[in-house]
Amino acid sequence: MLKILTIIGARPQFIKAAAVSRVIRNDHADTIEETLVHTGQHYDPNMSQVFFDELEIPHPKFNLEISGGTHGAMTGRMLEAIEKVLLSERPDWVLIYGDTNSTLAGALAAAKLHIPVAHVEAGLRSFNMRMPEEINRILADRVSNLLFCPTEVAVENLAREGITKGVSLVGDVMYDVSLYYRDVARSNNDALDRFELKEGDYVLATCHRAENTDDPSRLREIGLALADLAADQAVILPIHPRTAKFMDEQGLITAMKNVKLVAPLPFLDMIRLEQAARAIVTDSGGVQKEAFFYEVPCVTIRDETEWTETVDLGWNRLVDADRTKIVTAVRGACRPSGAQARPYGDGSASKAIIERMLG
C-alpha cells in the first residue's frame, strides 16, 4: 500500500486536490492510502468547509488551524506542525499543490525528513520576485522529486533552471475539474437568480493578491474601476476578507455602492457565475484559467501572469492596476475568433499524476 500525505490549505488547493483524490478513491483504493492535512490557511467556512462538501473531498485527518500573521510566522508554524505529522504518519510521498505558504512548508518539512515530494503545478513562473507565491513555487520546485507540469512552458522554465530529473508534462488538474463540474454547475445552480444577474450581461470580479490589496494606490484604482463599470452594467465582486478590510479602510466600499459585494462563494456558485459572465476581472491565477476553460474574456489586474498561454491566445489581457486601462479593457472585451486551442491537456492530468507516483 502506497501512503500519500496530501497537504492543502487554500481554496485553489482544495479544488486541485479534489480531482486527484477522486482518482485515488475510484481507481486505486486497494493500492493507495491518502491522508489529507489541512493547514488551516483558509479558515473561513465559505473558503474551506463548503469546498470539502461540494467537491466531495474526504475529511482531513489533520487540521492544523494555522492562519493569520506574517508570511514568516505562518510558514514557520506550519513547518513545525507538518513535521510532527510526518514523523507520526511516515508517508511514502508528500503531495503538494501550487504556490502558497502551505505548499512551501510542506515541501521543506518533507525534504528535511528525506520524504519524497511531488509538486503539482511545478514550473510556473511569473518572474516577479516581489510576489510571495513566486518565492514559494521556486523553492518548492528545488526540493521536489516529482515535478508535475501543467504546460510546455512550465517544463521549459524548469529546464532553464537546470531541473530536468523527475519532470513530467501531465496537463492541468484544474482543467480536469472544470470538465467534471461544468455541466453540474449549469444544471443544478440558481446563483444567477439569487444575485439577480442575467446570462452574458455582467462582469465578475475577484481581487485578493497582496500586491493589490496591500498597496493602497493599486487597490483604489481597482475599486474605482469597478465602480465606473457598475455605472452602466452589473458588476459582482465576491470579496475576500482581507480585500474587504482594506477597501473599507480606504472608503472604497462607499464609492462602490453599485457593485454587488458578496461573501466568498461556494465552488459551484463561482463557476456558474464564471461561465455566464460577459467578462471577468481578476488577479487570481485559477480564475484566469477557468475563464479560459469556459471561453469568457478575462482582464487581469496584474503586471504579469504565470498562465501566458491565456494571453497569447487572446483570451486574457494584462492591464496592471490602472483604472482607465481596466475600464477600457472590460468594455472592449470580446471572444477571439478561431478554434480554441487546448494548451492545458485533455482532462486526464490527475490520472497521469497518480500513475507516475505509482512508478
CA-to-CA distance for 273 and 191, rounded, in angstroms? 7
Please give the grid coordinates belonging to residue 292.
479560459
Any catalytic annotation for residue 208?
yes
Helices (H), 161-284: 173-187, 191-194, 210-213, 216-230, 241-249, 252-255, 267-276
Contact by Cβ (8 Å): 310, 335: no
The amino acid at residue 279 is A
Neighbour order of strands in the sheet with 298-300: 260-262, 234-238, 202-205, 279-282, 298-300, 316-318
123, 166, 173, 135: which is closest to 286 by C-alpha?
173
In the set 28, 119, 208, 240, the catalytic residue is 208
On whether the CB atoms of residues 138 and 154 are closer than 8 A, the answer is no
At residue 165, φ and ψ (nearest 5 deg) are -70, 130
* Residues 134-158 as b or e (16 or more Cβ within 10 Å = b): bebbbbbbebbbbbbbbbebbbebb
C-alpha to C-alpha distance for 154 and 306, rounded to whole angstroms: 9
- Residue 167 DSSP SS3: strand
Q: Which of 321, 315, 274, 285 has the alpha carbon at shortest distance from 301?
A: 321
Among residues 191, 183, 151, the alpha carbon closest in space to that of 313 is found at 151
Roughly how many angstroms between the first and final C-alpha of the chain, as a whole number? 13
Q: Which residues are catalytic?
A: 208
